[in-house]
Every structure is written in structure tokens, then in C-alpha cells.
Amino acid sequence: MSDTPPGPGPASLQEIVLVTGISGSGKSVALHALEDAGFFCVDNLPPELLRDFLRLEAHRPERRVAIAVDVRSAGSLPHLLSLLTQLRSEGVSIQAVFLDASTDALVRRFSETRRPHPLSDELSTSAFARLASDELEGRRALIDAIELERQLLAELREMSIVMDTSQLRPTQLRSWIRELVSAVDSRLTLVFESFAFRHGVPLDADFVFDVRVLPNPHYVRELRPLTGRDAPVAEFLAAQPEVADMLGQIEDFLARWLPAFEADQRSYLTVAIGCTGGQHRSVYFAETLAQRFRSRVVTLIRHRELEA
């Protein structure tokens, strides 16, 4: 007979979101967005207390719950990984969201806020203390801490929905988090994300398509200030045979493999489409593909370079 206390049953909790990720990637912003959306939020809950907490919350099934866990609980992360697997096998629906960002973006954020990295004590504390007087030494120590954190959280990242915040403003992140939790469904959610290659490929992309070889509306004077969501740009691109060919090929590829991802119980698939500026072609492709797949699967659209 097992000594492990019984967990909450499959129908005992309506919605649980676990927010985790790299320090400086925006977990506080995400948690505040969830709180504004009506979630009961708990920050930095020790993983050892997760099951007990969920058991208590099972008596309030009408309440949506968001829990933030990060590297401050590094010693408990192995326990968290096994516990998540166990809870899911018991029928508890936990949506884990992992926020990530490029190392350059994280270094910039820590430098702007002057906050120490949570793992600074694990490395050279004196190096962090010299940040103000020795910028190069402080930067190296900070990068070492970030890379150590990536290693510690790698397995948790693999079990989660990944969201790249490198280029996001707080308003965009709040909007994306709200869209994510509103799309919670037993089926796969397909995300089409436009981006500019000059700002880097999104870290959360499962597939990346490059549309920079296609005719560029930027070079048409009246189309330059518009975006791929505007009718004149859409009409211009729709008239290009190469655009129709690439759209059809991407659609066929995704249609062929979506059932395999659904059979693999994937809940979230991000298709990133990039062009030079992230304004015209990639936006048009994201909008058009989302429209084509909307009747088959839950879809979300993100335009990283456009205003939220």
C-alpha cells in the first residue's frame, strides 16, 4: 500500500497554470496578467507543497489557480518533474508555461535593474559584487549564472509550453499570456507567429519558415507604412504566384503532420514565419495560415514586431 496521499481527482480542479522559466524572462509580469484574468496566484511555491496545495484547492473547483516556480527552488526541481508527471497521469490538468529569453536580453534586463541573479551565490559572489566597478567581470559572472540556470531548468522546459520574451514589451507578454490561458483545450493549439529575422528567431518556435525570398511590399511606396493585416498589402501578396505556392506548401506540410503531433499529445505547436522587418510578408502569412487552419484546430496569432 502506497504511503503517498491521494491527489486531487481529474475533475476536482478546473484550471491550473504553472508558470516557470529563466530569471528575468518576465514571470512576474505573467503572474500579474493571470491575476488580472481572475486566477488565484501563488509565487515561488516550494514543489514539496504542490500536492498539498492542490488538495486544498480541490475544495474550491470554481477557482482558477496559477503557481510560479523558479530556480530559487532548484534543490526541489527533480521532485517537481516527477510530481508533474505523476499528477498528469492521475488526470490532473496542469498547463506548464516556460518563459525564456536570449542571454543578451537577460543580461540587459539584469544590468538595467541592478538586481543580482538568484544563482549568484552558486558562482563567484565577488564577481557579482564587482559589477559596478568591473563591468566585464560582472557580465561574465552573470552569463555563467544564466547558463547554469538553463542547465537546471532544461528538463522542465521540455515538459512545458515555451514562450520567448526576448523582444516582447510587458504589454505584449500580458496579452499573449491571456490568449494562451483562454485557449486551454484538450486539443492541440496551433500558434502562428510573425517575426523579423534581424531581431532573431523566436526561441519558442517549433517550426521556422523563411519568406524573405518573396516579393517585398516594403519597396512599394504606398504599401510601406502598412502591415500584412491591411487589405492593400494582402491583395499585393495574394497576386504573387510565388506567395501562393509557398502558402500552399506550408499548409500541406502542417496538415500532413498535425495529426502526428496530436497523437503525441502535444498541446501547443508554434509555427514562426519570418521576413526582413516582420511587418508585411510574415504578418500576411501568419494571418492567412491561421484563417485556413481555424476550422481544424484552435489557433492563435502573434505578431512579435507589431505594436500590441
Is 28 annotated as a binding-site member?
Answer: yes
In the DSSP assignment, the letter for residue 123 is S
Q: Which residues pair with 301 in a beta bridge?
A: 192
Contact 193, 168 (CB under 8 A): no
Angle between helices 77-89 and 50-57 (to 10 degrees): 40
Is 22 annotated as a binding-site member?
Answer: yes
Is 250 annotated as a binding-site member?
Answer: no
Q: Which region holds residue 101: left if phi is over 0, alpha if psi is between -120 and 50, else beta?
A: beta
Whole-angstrom distance, CA of residue 185 vs CA of residue 64: 15
For 37-46, letters b (16+ CB in 10 Å) and e give bebebbeebe
Angle at 100 between CA 158 and CA 49, to 5 degrees: 65
Q: Which of 178, 177, 172 is nearest to 194 (CA)?
A: 172
CA–centroid distance for 194 within its chain: 14
Whole-angstrom distance, CA of residue 137 vs CA of residue 226: 45
What are the cell numbers at 25? Answer: 524572462
Whole-angstrom distance, CA of residue 244 vs CA of residue 26: 38
Beta carbons within 10 angstroms of residue 11's beta carbon: 11
Is 75 annotated as a binding-site member?
Answer: no
Whole-angstrom distance, CA of residue 164 vs CA of residue 21: 10
Is 27 annotated as a binding-site member?
Answer: yes
Is 23 annotated as a binding-site member?
Answer: yes
Is 25 annotated as a binding-site member?
Answer: yes
Is 71 annotated as a binding-site member?
Answer: yes
In one letter, which amino acid is 54? L
Is 177 annotated as a binding-site member?
Answer: no
Helix (H, G, I), strand (E, B) or coil at 89: helix
Q: Which residue numbers belong to the known binding site for ATP? A: 21-28
Q: Which residue numbers belong to the known binding site for GTP? A: 70-73
Q: Which residue numbers belong to the known binding site? A: 21-28, 70-73
